[in-house]
Amino acid sequence: MKIATVGKGGSGKTTIAGTLARVFAENGRKMLAIDGDPNPNLALTLGLSRDQADAIIYIPSSVMKRGEEVDGVMMMVPAISKDEIMDQFATEAAPGVDLIVMGQPAHGTAGSGCMCASHRAVRGLVSELTTYGEHTLTDMEAGLEHLKRGTARHVDMMLVVAEPYYRSLEAGMRTAALAEELGIKHIKVVANKVRNDDDLEAIKTFCDQHDMSLIGVVPYDEEMVAAERDEKSPYDHASQSAGVEAIREIAANIDLLN
């Protein structure tokens, strides 16, 4: 299954994505993680050190080239073989988890234009590299731009990560609506950083009002905060913490849909 995590900036989508990949690998799944965020942070959440993350070779957008146009959408195909992409750019981030990172904006390019080429490249990679893992998990950039450009068009499941306050939930609603327009089969909400019953009730009520399906609830977890502060993956820092256990439940719920 091809899965993407999306959400408002700060919602915790990268933490959910990285921990979910580790949990699936723990259960024997072969995972391919794709960091599609121009400000990449997935490597640390998966378990690499800062030095290891800094040593990753980013995939340039030129690794994908224009193919045919289908239904008004320009399809992207690899400029080199898929095996060469994996050989040159994949990093073993954890047991059972390979990571590839899309090229981040070069220093000194502020104000030089949009990230259109990167969006097309991510879309093409999500479509092409599905044979390298039982699950492909892509951490998308925050906001709605990637959905407007159809970057996540080829995923099977969109996990919309939302915090229990109105602006985050409203952003999640807009994200879910765009994902539905793209024809994504499974669109699910992950309630994150839930502190109490009032938080949970607020999210459940909002989801019910807007016909959004909740797949799991991740509590506010001091262990996850500590892991981020120490630049460690939540899974390695405290694999039995309440947050990680909640993500295990989400993984089990995803398997039921697969």
> What residue ranges define each of the domains in the chain, with the CATH number in brackets?
2-257 (3.40.50.300)
**According to the model, what pLDDT value does residue 111 have?**
47
d(CA 258, CA 40) in angstroms, rounded, equals 28
Q: Which of 69, 96, 70, 99 is nearest to 85 (CA)?
A: 99
Question: 214 with 189: CB under 8 angstroms?
Answer: yes
Q: Look at residue 126 in the predicted model and tell me its pLDDT.
A: 61
Considering the entire predicted model, what is its pTM? 0.85
Give me the half-sphere count of Cα atoms (radius 13 Å) on the Cβ side of residue 18.
29
Q: How confident is the model at residue 257 (pLDDT cuts 50, 70, 90)?
A: confident
- Residue labelled with tokens 């990949």: 21
Distance CA(238)–CA(87), nearest Å, equals 32
User: pLDDT tier at 150 (50, 70, 90 boundaries)?
Assistant: very low
Model confidence at 144, pLDDT cuts 50, 70, 90, reads very low
Q: Which of 2-6, 8-12, 66-70, 229-233 has the lowest mean pLDDT?
A: 66-70
Separation of alpha carbons 142 and 24, rounded Å:
23
Q: Average pLDDT in the 4-19 region?
A: 91
Q: What is the mean pLDDT of residues 213-223?
A: 97
How many residues in the chain? 258
8 Å CB contact between 179 and 50: no
Least confident of 8-12, 110-114, 153-157: 110-114
Sole residue written with tokens 């991740």: 218
Average pLDDT of the residues of the chain:
83
Q: CA 8 to CA 216: how far, in whole Å?
A: 17
Q: State yes or no: pLDDT of 133 exceeds 90.
A: no
pLDDT above 50 (res 5)? yes
pLDDT higher than 80, residue 98: yes
Q: What percentage of residues in the chain have a pLDDT greater than 90?
A: 49
Predicted local confidence at residue 115, as pLDDT: 47
With left for phi above 0 and alpha for psi between -120 and 50, is residue 47 left, alpha or beta?
A: left
The neighbour count for residue 74, using CB atoms within 10 Å, is: 13
Q: Which two tokens stand for residue 240?
A: 């039995």
pLDDT greater than 60 at residue 106: no
CA distance 144 to 167: 14
